[in-house]
Amino acid sequence: MPRHGPRPAPERLKRLLVMLPWLMERGEVPIAEMAAHFSITEADATLDLELASMCGLPPFVDEMIDVFIDEGVVYTGIPRVFTKPLRLTAPEGFALLTAGRAAMVLPGAEPEGPLGRALDKLAAALGEDGVVVELERPPLADMVARAALTSSRLDITYWTPARDEANVRQITPRAVFADGGHWYVLADDQRSGSERSFRIDRILDARETGVVDAPRDVRLPDANRWFADDADIERVTLRVPAELLWMIERYPIDSRTPDKRDSAMVTVVMPVVSEQWLERLVLRLGQRASVVAPERWITLAARAARGVLDRYESISRDS
Amino acid sequence: MQYCLYARVRMAEPLERMTNLLALLLETKVPLSLQQIVTELDGQYPVNTQAQRGAFERDKAVLREIGVPIDQMVLAGDRAGQTAYWIDRHRYELAGLDLSDDERRALQMAVAAVRTDETWGREGLLKLGAGGERPSRAVAATVPTFEALPPLREAVANKATVRFGYRDVDRELDPYGLLLRDGYWYVIGHDHAHRQVRTYRVDRIAGKVTVGEAGSFVRPADFDIRAVFPSDPKLLGEPESEITRATVRIDPIRATLVAREVGDDAVVARHPDGSIDVEVPCVNRDAFRSWVLGLTSHAVVVEPADLRAEIVDWLQGVAG
């Protein structure tokens, strides 16, 4: 996306240092093509090149960077300096390697293909580093991913944790993605007529319907907080012993404040997807944690615990 | 000297000056002091000594920020005490990668499909000659990133000892590898204070990671990062402690999902009503309880009696 407004000098310099070797390799290139390649406007590209052409050091003040624009085409002469791009910084190298390694374990990846070869070259240049990326996926993920690639409609049996029940629905998968240790499918849900995310490990069964829908591009939800930013989602205030915080770290949290009177306790405010979800959480947290607000959930843990205890009684009688 | 003829009329833009400074430090055969740099870049730095030093320091900081390796040394002899600067071209240039078009394209697809830090990935791609539109993907993954990760990766590659704060304690670690598992990054290595291999969660590292000298340790040849800790949280715990096996009754509604999670081998009984009994290992009692209570009233511990009693006690505590 081309950006607007004045660009800071470090960003322009960084761009210039990749632009120059790229131009030198080509000799001549339409400015429109260059702007598209670097995701900047033609005006910005022109500004940067004009500036570059003014740079110079004695004794070759006017010829250090030999570049000019004529009729929408950039011409670059015999290079003197900046013939190779600046080495990868640590964050750039890390991002490329991890993205590549993660892509290698996505459904449909070909380990013998060009990505594998590119990663071998990168690892050789950046140093062998023992970085291992695991994105273990549920058995149905590959089938759902194939359906997303072909816009094939599926009948699925889906367990809805919010209602604690399983039911059959028809979906057209659009994209499959992994986030926070889980796999999701973003799909058109025929029942609600809208786009929804489903957790693939909660799909009990999936069958092809034979119906193929028109392809459609989707925007994946933003990383990590993709349900939590919804202001309509209710919040709960919990008081939790500090050593049990590991149980909730996996979920998005609005705020986390240490208790003033008791340093072992922490007050946490977090979004609640459903009452059933909260029920599971407070059962696992145990009696030392408590709901502070809203009022109707203060006794939720006790009620849920009695429900489970009833099951324990009936099952001990059975067996 | 010849370049005096080129005295500039206008003051150079900072960007132009920085580009010239970069070219000068790349081209020079000997380290240059600030005084020499100012002379070479005639008219581009302010005349006032203090303003001159300030402008130079800012330029140097920007160059380092974008990843330019500027070397420096303190001079001796008749210029003793002065600092001189230069850039080693071999450390500056990206070399030896020579990706083919399809390899570049594959990396571009990977960066589009895997969401880490988008800026880092994109900047890296541009240096490798891949640019333009981001291809859209039907299969994608989000990989979390933290500031500590790039320096840790370099430290693993260079065999450099690192120091970082973790749970209010300074740790010193010979990092053997990084592992992304279940959505979390772990750094695994030899902990100096504990004299054993330890695992740390990268998102819990507080503050900066300090990277020491390269080549300060040797990674054991048989080190296997995946084997360092078990993937099943119910198996986390003291390895020497005895593993309890628990039998848990699962309601029909959750039977399929749980059987899939624990594996069909673990299903020890199937009842006429559709419920199943699964046998699961239990080393870490907290993790086991958390798992079984996550199933609420759809799971009941049948055996062993002491584990069942422990869960019942826990529930009675919560029930009040």
Question: Least CB-CB distance to B143: which of A25, A98, A127?
Answer: A98
- Say which residue, A294 or A66, is predicted with more confidence: A294
Q: Is residue B22 part of a domain?
A: yes
CA A178 to CA A183: how far, in whole Å? Answer: 4
Binned at pLDDT 50, 70 and 90, residue A54 comes out as confident
Please report, for the domain that includes residue B205, its CATH number.
2.30.30
CA B173 to CA B212: how far, in whole Å? Answer: 10
B163 and B219 in a single domain? The answer is: yes
- DSSP designation for A296: G
Q: Each residue of A84-98: pLDDT tens digit?
A: 888 888 888 888 888
Backbone angles phi, psi at A234, to 5 degrees: -70, 150
Q: Is the pLDDT of residue A2 over 80?
A: no
Which residue of B2, B15, B91, B210 is the best one to mutate when testing the A interface, meaning the one whose CB has the most A CBs within 10 A? B15
Q: Specify the pLDDT at position A59.
A: 60
CA B273 to CA B47: how far, in whole Å? Answer: 90
Question: Least CB-CB distance to B2: which of A59, A121, A148?
Answer: A59
Nearest to B185 by CA among B205, B170, B167: B205
B223 and B159 in a single domain? The answer is: yes
Q: Is residue B156 part of a domain?
A: yes
Q: Specify the pLDDT at position B239.
A: 46
> What is the per-residue DSSP string for A235-281?
EEEEEEEGGGGGGTTTS--SEEEE-SS-TTEEEEEEE-S-HHHHHHH
Q: Is residue B18 part of a domain?
A: yes
B11 and B85 in a single domain? The answer is: yes
Q: Which two tokens stand for residue B34?
A: 């600030």
A217, B136: Cβ pair inside 8 Å?
A: yes
B135 and B199 in a single domain? The answer is: no
Q: Which of residues 284-303 of B touch A (CB under 8 A)?
A: 289-290, 293-298, 300, 302
Question: Is B135 touching A (CB cutoff 8 A)?
Answer: no
- A contacts of B223 (beta carbons < 8 Å): 130
Q: Is the pLDDT of residue A145 over 80?
A: yes
Start-end of H helices in chain B: 14-27, 34-40, 49-65, 89-92, 101-113, 118-127, 149-158, 252-262, 285-293, 305-319
Q: Is residue B168 part of a domain?
A: yes
B258: domain range? 244-319
Residue of B nearest to A175 (CA): B138
Question: Is B2 touching A (CB cutoff 8 A)?
Answer: yes
Q: Which of residues 188-217 of B touch A (CB under 8 A)?
A: none
CB–CB of A13/B15 below 8 Å?
Answer: yes
Which residue of B107, B174, B291, B301 is the best one to mutate when testing the A interface, meaning the one whose CB has the most A CBs within 10 A? B107
Residue where a domain terminates, one of B81, B115, B142: B142
Q: Specify the pLDDT at position B134.
A: 61
Helix (H) or strand (E) holding A172: strand A165-179
Please report, for the domain that includes residue B16, its CATH number.
1.10.10.10
Q: Is residue B314 part of a domain?
A: yes
B159 and B136 in a single domain? The answer is: no
Helix (H) or strand (E) holding B301: strand B299-303
Q: Is residue B256 part of a domain?
A: yes
Please report, for the domain that includes residue B295, its CATH number.
3.30.70
B165 and B129 in a single domain? The answer is: no
CB–CB of B314/A286 below 8 Å?
Answer: yes
Name residues whose C-beta falls within 8 Å of residue B74's C-beta, 6 or more positions apart in sequence.
B81, B82, B83, B84
Domains and CATH numbers, chain A: 9-76 (1.10.10.10), 90-126 (no CATH), 141-212 (2.30.30), 235-314 (3.30.70)
Question: Least CB-CB distance to B116: which of A95, A139, A283?
Answer: A95
Q: Each residue of A172-195: pLDDT tens digit?
A: 999 888 887 888 898 999 888 888
Q: Is residue B235 part of a domain?
A: no
pLDDT tens, N- to C-terminus, chain B (320 residues):
333 334 344 455 788 889 889 989 988 889 999 999 998 888 888 888 899 999 999 999 999 988 899 999 888 888 788 899 999 988 888 877 788 888 888 888 888 788 766 677 777 888 877 776 666 667 888 888 888 999 999 899 889 999 998 877 889 999 999 999 888 888 999 999 888 888 888 888 888 999 999 999 998 888 888 777 655 555 544 444 466 789 999 999 888 888 888 888 889 999 999 999 999 887 778 888 988 998 999 999 998 899 999 999 999 999 98
- DSSP designation for A82: -
Residue where a domain terminates, one of B184, B203, B229: B229
Express as a percent the part of chain A with pLDDT over 90: 25
ipTM of the complex: 0.70
Q: Is residue B234 part of a domain?
A: no
Residue of B nearest to A20 (CA): B127
Q: Which two tokens stand for residue A254?
A: 């609005």
Domain count, chain B: 4
Q: Specify the pLDDT at position B8.
A: 43
Axis crossing angle, helix B49-65 with helix A9-26, rounded to the nearest 10: 60
Name residues whose C-beta falls within 8 Å of residue B104's C-beta, 6 or more positions apart in sequence.
A118, B125, B128, B129, B130
Q: Which of A133-142, A222-231, B36-45, B195-204 has the lowest mean pLDDT?
A: A222-231
B157, A176: Cβ pair inside 8 Å?
A: no
Q: Each residue of B121-169: pLDDT tens digit?
A: 777 888 877 776 666 667 888 888 888 999 999 899 889 999 998 877 8
- B contacts of A35 (beta carbons < 8 Å): none
